[in-house]
Structure 1
């Protein structure tokens, strides 16, 4: 069995498109079509229903798809175990992460991991939590790091780091000068916010509700698409905002912005999510052990 044929078939099923599958595989559409036609000839079944606008697997195709995913996972495990058999770990580890852990935590963890296993190549895929989970469930990545615990028998979640949502202001802002500001005072000032749908904004909305306020109670002056841009806007005096402490600390240490510590932060956890049937793969297990090793615990609360 040619694994490249299985790769092509799996990708077409997951993308519902020959052209999108070819792009993901960095191949040509005719090449992908030929691989799948060869696979169908080899197995003696039509695997794809090509008579509809969206390409879907046939009943036989669904069986092959499930088996192909299992074979790919077993092959990856075998490659890992053979590497350990020779006394070294090799291969490629693909990690998906949401923006905050992917930007502020993951690079340090990967550096420590590669210090231990320098022959392992690591790929990082940054996206929102939904994208990370979709890619994980489709076996497009090996592990995910997101800000939510997943309740699924197919996926395993392990808490690996903490963060908090904090109020940041320009240096010298009136809130920094008040001895004990009341939370409702934030309604007096312009706000800079992340765009709708961002994880940080959703956290902020939950936090406001706990404090008896709604988003509509704030004077929203600017909507921005990234946390770094929000911090730069706050520094420029466009308003105040709630952001991740992990993201805010470099700017605070550089004297660019201030944190209002008199307001209790809104805590959250980050989780390492893996497939239940793949968590014992040597590559994934070693990365998990490196991330949650005792020597890293102090860095979990930057």
Structure 2
């Protein structure tokens, strides 16, 4: 019954049988059958069709609020039972954008695991917007991304700062300049991260402050990872802007330079779903990162 109740809550909150079916990896008719079976067990009508969608009946509204409370109490009960164990165990699924996922989290999670050896991790990496969607769909417990996303369903908490600098091959013509101006960059090809990344958004916002837009530049390559961007720079496809966190250990073939008037800073954020009760392993890991 709890499983069907959980599916019902997801259907109500997503407003779509199809979306829930996709998240659960089942067919849409299977979700419809679950909802029909639930109505038969309760002997009430929970949904009423409205165009191509549905609305809750009065009975559906009552059941939804009770179901939410029951599921939350069930999760709390499981948490309380887990806390009686000597050691916490389990797996935490974390989503991350590229910089925190590839360069920062592995070290931090290693520190956490020294204190909690029976907790393991799954780390999924993608762009910031994609990871926020995975938190929303509850595919990951929480995420660490380069965008501050606060909505009615998602909560964003600042984690740590980041600085992004111009990076180019040591023999690039721009590196011969004593002072690099933003306008100088327009004469040479640029390598960029893909749309949807917090990294790219930070660059766009910094350029706009100088009345410049990415359309003013020649983009030779768009890539979906920082390592690809670095390899593209080494291959003379152009310069780029890279987090200083991704420049360790130092690479003698690349140089990081300042651009006059162009300061690119941003933050990394812990993203959770507001109504999600984290498992004890996930909560311990979240609190460790947060603090």
- For normalisation by structure 2, the TM-score amounts to 0.80
Q: Where does residue 299 of structure 1 map in the other structure?
A: none
Report the 3-state secondary structure (helix = DSSP H, G, I; strand = E; otherwise coil) of the residue aligned with 1:267.
strand
1:288 aligns with 2:286: yes
- d(CA) in 2 for partners of 1:214, 1:151: 26
Report the 3-state secondary structure (helix = DSSP H, G, I; strand = E; otherwise coil) of the residue aligned with 2:83.
helix
- d(CA) in 2 for partners of 1:260, 1:88: 48
Q: Which runs of 5+ in 1 are unaligned?
A: 294-302
- d(CA) in 2 for partners of 1:133, 1:63: 30
Deviation at 1:201, TM superposition (A): 2.0
Q: Where does residue 270 of structure 1 map in the other structure?
A: 268
Q: Where does residue 242 of structure 2 map in the other structure?
A: 243
Deviation at 1:167, TM superposition (A): 0.9
Q: Where does residue 254 of structure 2 map in the other structure?
A: 257
- d(CA) in 2 for partners of 1:57, 1:116: 46
Kindly tell me: are residues 87 and 140 of structure 1, through their superposed partners in 2, closer, same or farther at Cα, counting changes over 3 Å? same
Kindly tell me: are residues 20 and 69 of structure 1, through their superposed partners in 2, closer, same or farther at Cα, counting changes over 3 Å? same
- For normalisation by structure 1, the TM-score amounts to 0.78
Within 5 A, what are the aligned runs for 1:4-83?
4-13=3-12, 18=17, 21-27=20-26, 32-49=31-48, 53-54=52-53, 57-83=56-82
Q: Deviations over 1:88-109 (max 9, x none)?
A: 2234433333333233223333
Deviation at 1:266, TM superposition (A): 1.2
Q: Where does residue 195 of structure 2 map in the other structure?
A: 196
- d(CA) in 1 for partners of 2:53, 2:73: 30
- d(CA) in 1 for partners of 2:288, 2:37: 42
Kindly tell me: are residues 13 and 265 of structure 1, through their superposed partners in 2, closer, same or farther at Cα, counting changes over 3 Å? same
- d(CA) in 2 for partners of 1:36, 1:151: 31
Q: Which runs of 5+ in 2 are unaligned?
A: none
- d(CA) in 1 for partners of 2:265, 2:271: 19
- d(CA) in 2 for partners of 1:275, 1:221: 37
User: Does the CA contact (< 8 Å) of 2:233 and 2:240 recur in 1?
Assistant: yes
Report the 3-state secondary structure (helix = DSSP H, G, I; strand = E; otherwise coil) of the residue aligned with 2:86.
coil
Give aligned pairs, total. Answer: 290
Within 5 A, what are the aligned runs for 1:94-173?
94-137=93-136, 139-151=138-150, 156-173=155-172
Kindly tell me: are residues 279 and 46 of structure 1, through their superposed partners in 2, closer, same or farther at Cα, counting changes over 3 Å? closer
Q: Deviations over 1:202-234 (max 9, x none)?
A: 211111123343323322233334333222211
